[in-house]
Structure 1
Amino acid sequence: MWRDARGYAALTWRSLRRSHDPLRRRVDRVEGTLAVAVAVLLVALLPLAVWLGALVGDQQTAIAHQQARDFRQVTATTAADSAADSVSPDPTPVATVESAPAHWEWAGVTHRADVAVDPGTRAGTEVQIWVDPDGDLASRPISPSDAATSGIFVAVFTWVSGALVAFTGFLAARGVLNRRRDREWSREIREFLGTATSY
């Protein structure tokens, strides 16, 4: 892939420098212009991807700080033995998650829910869980590293997606231009040789 990219870059550079080459056709100029446009687009996508990644990272960091401030860990007590819940749609489970009904106290109120536990957890086992400001069961708060990872993922995904779309569009346009280039060469060869044979 990188070898093809270097070849396109060299071809584009030669096409731009040979503006008066009699063998350089209009389709060649269009192809060179498209190649330059793709290169410019890829460069322009970099700051956009970085900006989106930073935006998402900042949003996730704000959520992480809010959750760290509002969420609390409490001790819950299981009310029954744990049970395995399959997370695979296949008949043969490839992964299971253990859960058990549990209860805990928050602000003088007893809360109940199914909580994730280690395999084989027995009734009456104390487990640490996270709760929101109302005392309801919550997920583990987002960590600063999770927030940073989300921003990096969005930045990379944005640039790669844009590059794939641009490169796919260029290849499609190049296929159309190649067919047109072949027709023009065949027509001019026939005119030059004075024959209907296509080359």
Structure 2
Amino acid sequence: MHHRTKGTGVNPLRRDADRTRTHMHAAFSLTCLLAVIAGFALGRAAWTDGHRTAENLARHRQTVTATTVGETTYRAGDHPTSRPVTVAAATWHYPSQRPHTESIPVPAGTRHGDTVRLWVDGNGNAAAAPPSQADVALNAMGIGIGALAGIVLAGGALVAVRLRIVDARSARSWESEWAGVEPLWSGRLRPGQGAGDD
């Protein structure tokens, strides 16, 4: 046994299944490292892109003062799970004093004749506010964390499946080897063996 291990550093008691398990654990560690790198890269890219988009929208949108010309009502949200939105008809002038009248979201309790701040696009139509820094950061974090989690889960699932296959093969090999050794070790007769047989 000494000549088989001398200078190689290989443990003769270490089975192929043990080596495969070690490789699988190392592969999962590498997958986790790559997931962190990919998550960071995708999050950073999403932050840069979102920041650029928000700046572009901010350049093309303005805030104006709108005056309500009707009573507030409730409008269903954009999604089935969204809460109702308080809206009122309002009028404003933009650009070059061009008048606009439209139903816009207003704070609850707004009365006829109240003024509200409103974001408009280059044509003066009501528009959503540009994303804030917090919105951009949350979106970038969501993308980065989602990518990290997805890669780790996919890698973990593949490693788990591979380890189950290795364990099943190892168990079958162990049973086969034990079937040949156990009768000699225990002194129990094998099927078809007589008392005087060696």
Which TM bucket (shorter chain)?
A: 0.7 to 0.9
Q: Which residue of 1 aligns with 2:43?
A: 53
Secondary structure, aligned partner of 2:71: coil
Which residue is equivalent to 2:16? Answer: 26
Instruction: Give the superposed CA RMSD.
Output: 2.4
Question: CA offsets per residue over residues 16-73 of structure 1, 9 Å max, x none?
Answer: xx84232x32222222211111111211222222221111111111122222222111
Match of 2:102 among 113, 127, 132: 113
Q: Which residue of 1 aligns with 2:91?
A: 103
1:69 alignment partner, SS class: helix
The alignment partner of 1:84 has SS state of strand
CA contact (8 A) 1:81 1:120 kept: no
- Partners in 1 of 2:176 and 2:11 — Cα distance? 22
Classify the secondary structure of the residue corresponding to 1:137: coil
- Equivalent residue, structure 2, for 1:182: 171
List alignment gaps of at least 5 residues for structure 1: 1-17
* Matching residue's letter, 1:191: G
Aligned residue in 1 for 2:64: 74
Question: Using a 3 Å threshold, how does the CA distance of structure 1 residues 58 and 119 change in structure 2: closer, same or farther?
Answer: same
Matched residue, 2:26:
36
Q: Which whole-Å CA distance do the structure 1 matches of 2:63 and 2:15 have between them?
A: 71
Give the TM-score normalised by structure 2: 0.77
Compared with structure 1, are the counterparts of its residues 65 and 89 closer, same or farther at alpha carbon in structure 2 (3 Å cutoff)? closer
| Pair member with larger Rg | 2
CA distance in 1, matches of 2:35, 2:105: 42
CA-CA distance at 1:138 after TM superposition = 1.1
**Alignment map for 1:117-128 (pairs within 5 Å):** 117-128=106-117
For residues 162-173 of structure 1, what are the structure 2 equivalents within 5 Å?
A: 162-173=151-162
Unaligned 5+ residue runs, structure 2?
1-8, 184-189, 192-198
Shift of 1:86: 4.2
Q: Is the CA contact (8 Å cut-off) linking 1:77 and 1:125 kept in structure 2?
A: yes
Instruction: Report the secondary structure of 1:49's partner residue.
Output: helix
